[in-house]
Amino acid sequence: MSAQHLRQGDEPGPGPQLPLLHQVVYCSRAAREVDDSVVDRIVATARRTNPRQGITGLLVFGSGVFFQWLEGPRDHVTGLMARIKHDPRHDEVVMLSQSEEVRERLFPDWSMELVTPDQIREVLLDALANTEDEKNTESLNLLLQKIDSNGLGRLMREV
């Protein structure tokens, strides 16, 4: 992954071409009625709206838990997070990581990728192998530790 993926809407940082990125990672408990078709609708909305806002990331759904990584310009990510928090399709939103840094995007090509719980470890390890950014490495290692010690399904109980 490289700076050539810089998206429209990114605020340029002081480095050569890296953007100032706001990053939010959270997990939440899905509402009882949430099934794959509900999740497909959420992903369709995300794929329609996120590119206009310069937001990229991934969404994991499994064991009644959502896990989402969002990255993009601060105002857009904050605005989206405010809408997401009030969404009745889930509750108990727990922030796992939140930061604003000049850094490369971890998932530059994903307007919102749906990842299954058994793929998440591999996806995060792949991102780790591809980033040279210290902050990204830190966040990824932290999440991998959480997932390795308790599994995604128990993430909610652990935090």
Ligand X SMILES: Cc1cc2nc3c(=O)[nH]c(=O)nc-3n(C[C@H](O)[C@H](O)[C@H](O)COP(=O)(O)O)c2cc1C
> Which one of 35, 40, 87, 122 is in contact with ligand X (CB under 6 A)?
87
Taking CB under 6 A as the rule, does residue 89 contact ligand X? yes
What distance in Å separates the CA atoms of residue 90 and residue 30, rounded to the nearest whole number? 4
| Cβ-contact 34, 27 below 8 angstroms | no
What distance in Å separates the CA atoms of residue 6 and residue 108, rounded to the nearest whole number? 8
What distance in Å separates the CA atoms of residue 115 and residue 73, rounded to the nearest whole number? 23
**Type of residue numbered 97:** S
Taking CB under 6 A as the rule, does residue 157 contact ligand X? no
Taking CB under 6 A as the rule, does residue 84 contact ligand X? yes
Q: Which stretch binds ligand X (CB under 6 A): 15-23, 78-86, 133-141, 148-156?
A: 78-86
Which one, 4 or 8, has the nearer CB to ligand X? 8
Taking CB under 6 A as the rule, does residue 91 contact ligand X? no
**Residues near ligand X (CB under 6 A), total:** 15
Q: Which stretch binds ligand X (CB under 6 A): 6-14, 81-89, 124-132, 146-154?
A: 81-89
| Cβ-contact 56, 113 below 8 angstroms | no
The tokens 């995060």 sit on which residue?
A: 124
Q: Give the up-direction half-sphere exposure of residue 37: CA atoms within 13 A in the CB hemisphere.
A: 1
Neighbour-count burial of 44, counting CB atoms closer than 10 A to its CB (0-12 exposed, 13-18 middle, 19+ buried): exposed
Q: Which stretch binds ligand X (CB under 6 A): 12-20, 43-51, 124-132, 151-159?
A: 43-51
Q: Which stretch binds ligand X (CB under 6 A): 38-46, 131-139, 140-148, 150-158?
A: 38-46
Shortest reach from residue 69's CB to ligand X, in Å:
10
Phi, psi of 70 (to 5 degrees): -125, 135
Taking CB under 6 A as the rule, does residue 50 contact ligand X? yes
Binding site for ligand X (CB under 6 A): 42, 45-46, 49-50, 59, 66, 68, 80, 83-84, 87, 89-90, 112
